Structures are given as structure tokens and as C-alpha cells.
Amino acid sequence: MTLRGRLTAAFLAVVLGPVLVGAVFVGTTLTAVDRSRSADRLGLAASTVRASVDALCQQLRAAADAVALRVDPAARAGAAGQVVSRGLAAAVLVTDGTGATTYVTPGAPPTPWQDCSGSRAAPGPVRALSARVDLRDPAGAALGTVAAAQVVDPAFVARLAAATGVAVTLLDGDADRVTFTTEADGVRETVLAATGEQVTETPDGRYARRLGPSPGQPLPLVLSVSGEQPAGLPAVLLGAVLLAVVLAVLAAWRLARVTTRPLVELAGAVDRVAHGDLTARVPVRSRDEIGRLADAFNRMTRETASYVTALTSSRDQLRGHLAVLGDTLASTHDLQRILRVILHSAVAATGARAGAVLLLDGGDVLVGRCAEGLEGRLPDGQLRVPVGAGVIGSVAATGEARRGRVDPQTAPVGEPPCETYVAVPFAAPTAGDPAGRDPAVGVLALYDRLGGAEFDDDDLATLRTFAGHAAVAVENVRVHEEAQRLSLTDPLTGLWNYRYLRESLRREVERANRFGRMLSILALDLDRFKRVNDTYGHAAGDAVLAEFARRVRGEIREVDLAFRQGGEEFVLLLPETDARGAAIVAERLGSAVRDTPITVADQLSIPVTVSIGIAVYPDHASTGQEVLDAADEALYAAKAAGRDGYRVTGQRADTPTAEIPVPAGAVSPEDGLPRAGPPAAGGRHAAGASRPAPGVTQPATGGASSGPQPPRQSRGR
């Protein structure tokens, strides 16, 4: 070949090589970007579908639980009707221990229903999605099941498609046949080309992905989207390449007459670059045109290398976007969900195979709160590491991040075996020590980077970012819980406030009703408290209220609840306590206040007495509000009787005092707890609940009572 031919070939290689590479790069990049975006959309849609189906399953499970709580079959049927009428479920099915149907709401879809916990679809078309709970008697024996279902129809599939922004196709459980789909008629069957969880490109330019069935998402679905690659792109690229070829040939013919052999070296260098060697350089032998061309080629390869570096930098920018995502997640109060998102993002950003988030349990032990990829790696299935022990414990103790490689056979006790690891501590943002370093409240650890290489400094920096978000999330949850506690307590006395009284009264009445127990309510009011404020001042009155609350707490059990209703009025809830037990507690409270005057500032001693009204559920009322009102009425009666004493609901203010009688033949139940039930002969309570016979009076005063005093060793509860 002549020099001109060699020069022309070299020139064309120099000029057309980058053009062709650029054209191929543009085409492949656009295709890859199109596939990546479609895969991201399908991945986000899959997460949305899982979350939507899981939320629906949780709703159905809650509906089934609400029906299963009813003991009576008629009440259970009524509860099922309410669940359906409120839209919590489309149908409710109750079966007995043999699986036979005992009740089903009208209009229920045909069975079998696809169970939320199943990992395989039922044979045939999926007609309904259901959640089941077991029916059990008070002894815990299985009585059957309750299933709440939601109809799976085209409208249901359309809602999933609207929520995810992609086309959704529901398949048969036993064959790859379309049941419902939001695809167009011309492409609905192409979605069946999707296999497994991987994104598959269909012949018509669409991308599809199968989802489920799996636990928490048992529906056999196919998600699909159309590609976004511009039409006619190959023709445009081909035209650009052809235009470049024509211009290059003309230039080569012109320059071939004035160039020389050094172009061969340039051609060789271009060939190396075309094979991916960006370190290729052409020696500059002169300052003429050939020399300047060689210098320009060297600059071009350097710029290409800079572009590759820029691509690597884009990975770091992606990590920055994940950090922004972490900031957004830190604003919620669901700590477990936040930690799972943070851990999943950290694993994805660093290429780790597994990871865990550990938090201090309030002492010196780190407990795993969430983990990913550690199934089967822990002997007892739990991750518990003492502070200062092993890799994770030392990270928490020193507050310094660590990374490296270990022998899987010599992994520290309590930690998962691994080959490579990186662990970063995180601390509460508001905490701190004199040295300026916040004490660690948890550790974020990742294990076994993909490819076997060790975690590098970039991974360590990325993990520190996610650990910072975990610290913010922990602090936000702590502040939120503290705010909730303060909103339910009285700041002066430390007792529960009136708002929590309503909630607790409803809960305790439901519990007493469910287990056939008694619930006693004591309404307390400090006698002549206004005189204390007027005589000694409001500061002394506040001190009296605080000391009174302290003495009340000292006279009740841990299961009892004390509330400040307002001013000098207090309420006690005594679960599983009858009238006699409540009278004993009232006697103790009156004595505790009466016998020891309250001392305030400057050694000022203030005598205080308390009047108490007693009411018992269900003896004196059928609802929580009614029994509270009955206790208030008894309190007024105690006030009218001269104060410094107690009254039980229904007892007149002028009734002489006497001990609450206990039938001679009464026998307490085996568990020693008073029970609610129909009265026995003579009007006394059949279970020995110390309920008085009609017309029998009860003690109305405290230590000054003229009648016999109840024993102080026991409350009779």
C-alpha cells in the first residue's frame, strides 16, 4: 500500500474511530439508560405493589381479628357485617375446627381465596385476597378460623396500576394465562415473556417483570412499561456516521499528500484506544502539523480518561442522593421502618452482601434491630454483642469506625462470620461528653462486599452518611415518645392526666368485661383544699398536691392507675378489685393522709384529709362513664357525711357505718381474683366478690369509723 493509502487509512482511523465509538456509545448508552429507567420504574412499582398488598393484608388481618374477638356466634356475625359495611373487607368467612363453613357474609366471592401468607398461588383464577386468624376459646384451644377477604377484580388491578404508574397483569395461579390486565389488547400477551423477578424486554419494545407470589404479596402479577427510546435513533446515528465518513475521506485525500510516516504511529495509538487503553500516547517528534496532531491526540485521550473519572464521580453523586433520601426518612417516627430503609440503601450503595443495624438496649449490650442477608449466619438467630467485645462492640466502645478482612472461621462470638466488613458507630445528635465526642447509641455494619474486595474509604464515607441518618432517626423517635409521655401526665404531680383517664377507663372496662372481672373506681377529693390555698398560698397548695400524689402511689399496686382529674380531684382505677378491696384501699389512703400532716417549706405542717367515693363495675354501672359518675356521686355522699371518709355507690349520707359483710360460706375462685356475675341467694355475689346484700351498709368514714375496721394486711383483691 502506498504512503498515501497508509496515510488515508491512518487519518480515517483517527477521525472515524472516535466517531464510531461515539455513535456506538450514544446508541448503547441510550438503550442502557432506557432499560435502566424502565427497570427503576418497575422496581419502584414492585415496591409499591408489595407495600399496597401488604397494607391490604394488614387491614384484612385487623378485620379478621375484630371478628375473632367476639365469643358469641351472633356477635361474631354482627361484627362481620360491620367489617363489610365499613369497607374493611369485602367478605368474612368463619369456619370451625374441621374446616366447615359456619358463617359467611352475603355476596362473598367464590372460594378458594388466596391467603396473604401464602407463597404459591391457588389453582385457577385469583378471585379474592384474604387474611386468616385462628379462633380460640379462653383456654387457648383452636375453634376454627376467621378469614377476611378483598375481591380481586379488574377494578382492583386498575387501582394497583394507578398507584404504581405501570401496566399490571394478573395471571392464573396454575398457568401462564392472563386473568385481568391493564395492557392494551394488542400487547397483553407479550407480558408473559417475563420470567422471574428479572426485567425482561419483550419483542414489542416493552419491559416486563414478574412479581410474586410470595409471603406478604401472594398475587401472581406481571408489571410492564413501554420503552422511552426515541423512534428513528438508529437512522440518525447512521446518517451522522456516513456524513463523518465522507468528510474524513475528503480530508484524508487532501492531507495524504503532505503527511508522512509518523501517522502510522498515530494509527497504532488509535487502535489501542479503540480497544480501551486510555493510557496510549503518541510521541511528538516535531512541531509541525504532524507534531501538533500527535499532541492533539494525546489531549483527546486525556479528556477521555477525565470523562471516565467523571463517570466514577457520578457514583458518588448517587450516594449523595441516597443521603437526601435518608434525611427525608428521618422525619418519620417509625424507627424500625427507617432503619430497614437505611440498611437497604447502604447495602445497595456499597455492594455489600449483608448488613445489620444494632442499638444499645439501655445497658451495655448492642441488640440487632434489623438485618439483611444474615439468614443462617447466627447460631441462635439473634445478634447481641456486648459493648467492647468483638469488632462491633469495640466500634461502639471507642466511637471509631473500622473496616478490614477477617477469617470467617474466627469470627467474634455473637457476630456473623464474614470475610470483609465495615462498621460505623452513630450517636444521638444532642448528646455529648466533655471530650467532644458523642457516645455511640448504635452501630451500622456491612459484610462481604461483592467481588471479594475489601471495603474502601469511599464505602466508609458512604456508611458514615447513613449512620448519621440512623442517629437522627433514633433521636427523633426518642423526642417523639417523650412528647407523647408529657402529653398524658400531669406536670405537678406526675400522675396520669384527665386525657389518659378516658382512654384507660375504656380499656380497663373492656378488659374487665372480656375476662369477667371487677373494676373499682375511687374518686378522691382533698377536703377544704381552698382553705389551704387561701391560708398558706398556692405554692403550699401545689406542694400538698404533689405530696398527696406521692402518698397515693405508695398505697396502690403497680397495676393500679392514678390520675389527677383537675384541681384537688383525683381518680384511681383498681383492676380486678371488688367493693371490699376498694374499701380497704380507701381506708389506707385516708389513714396515710390523715395520720401524717404534710410538711411544706419553712417546716410548715398542714393537716389534710381526703373524701373518697367508690363505685364498682359492673355492680354499679354498665359503662365506664356511668361507673365514673357513680363514684363521683358516692364522693358527694362522703362529703355530705362529714368528709374524711369514704362512701360506696348507693349508700346514703346518713347511713350508719358497718363493715362490708362477706357470706360465711363464700369461697374465692382458684385464682383468688374477684369475678363479675349474677348474684347468689341472699343478694350476695356468687364468686365471693364482697358485694353487699340489699340494704346492708358499708363503712363511710376513715380512721374515725365507729364500725369494725377492715384488715390492713390485704386489700381483698
C-alpha grid cell for residue 327?
434525611
Beta strands in 98-253 (DSSP E): 101-104, 114-115, 128-136, 142-151, 167-171, 178-181, 200-201, 206-211, 221-226
Q: Contact at 8 Å (CB) between 228 and 37?
A: yes
Distance separating alpha carbons of residues 412 and 393, to the nearest angstrom? 10
Going by C-alpha positions, the residue among 353, 357, 351, 322 that lies closest to residue 339 is 357
Going by C-alpha positions, the residue among 609, 615, 614 that lies closest to residue 642 is 609
- If you search the block for the grid coordinates 373524701, which residue do you land on? 611
First to last CA, the chain: 112
Cis peptide before 213 (omega within 30 of 0): yes
Q: Contact at 8 Å (CB) between 398 and 409?
A: no
Going by C-alpha positions, the residue among 675, 553, 691, 703 that lies closest to residue 614 is 691
| Partner residues linked to 526 by β-bridges | 610
- If you search the block for the grid coordinates 363521683, which residue do you land on? 632
| Element (DSSP H or E) covering residue 329 | helix 289-329
DSSP, res 595: S
User: Which residue out of 183, 547, 555, 568 is catalytically annotated?
Assistant: 568
**Active-site annotation holds for 568:** yes
Distance separating alpha carbons of residues 581 and 409, to the nearest angstrom? 62
Distance separating alpha carbons of residues 208 and 36, to the nearest angstrom? 12
| Amino acid letter, 363 | G
C-alpha grid cell for residue 286?
516535531
HEC string of 20-60 equals HHHHHHHHHHHHHHHHHHHHHHHHHHHHHHHHHHHHHHHHH
| Partner residues linked to 133 by β-bridges | 146
Phi, then psi, of 564 in degrees rounded to 5: -100, 115
| Partner residues linked to 447 by β-bridges | 354, 421
Laid out side by side, the sheet with 128-136 consists of 101-104, 91-96, 142-151, 128-136, 114-115
Residue positions annotated with a catalytic role: 568
